[in-house]
Amino acid sequence: MYLVPIAWMYVVGMVVLAEALSVNGTVLGALFTLVFWGLLPLAVVMYVLGTPARRRARREAAASPSAAASPDGGGMAAGDAVAAERKEP
């Protein structure tokens, strides 16, 4: 799954290196290339491709009762944490 993003960042890294070391290139231009050709598009693509997995995890979390959903957070039924109040007649 991560082969294409790694390859894309390799290509972008080579372009950034060529631009930074070129006679007509600048380090600022190389940084813009890294951000706008590499990191930003890669982040958007990875977010979009991760949407089904996040949706599936959210559905599974809603369907199965978890320890965090129980009142005491321990996954066990809540007992008598406070003694009952006695009423005098």
> pTM of the prediction?
0.63
Q: What type of residue is 26?
A: T
Which of 58, 50, 57 minimizes the C-alpha distance to 1?
Answer: 50
Q: What is the pLDDT of residue 62?
A: 82
Tens of each residue's pLDDT in the chain, 89 residues:
789 999 999 999 999 999 999 999 999 999 999 999 999 999 999 999 999 999 998 888 888 765 455 555 566 666 666 666 778 77
Q: What is the pLDDT of residue 5?
A: 92
Position of tokens 């066990």? 76
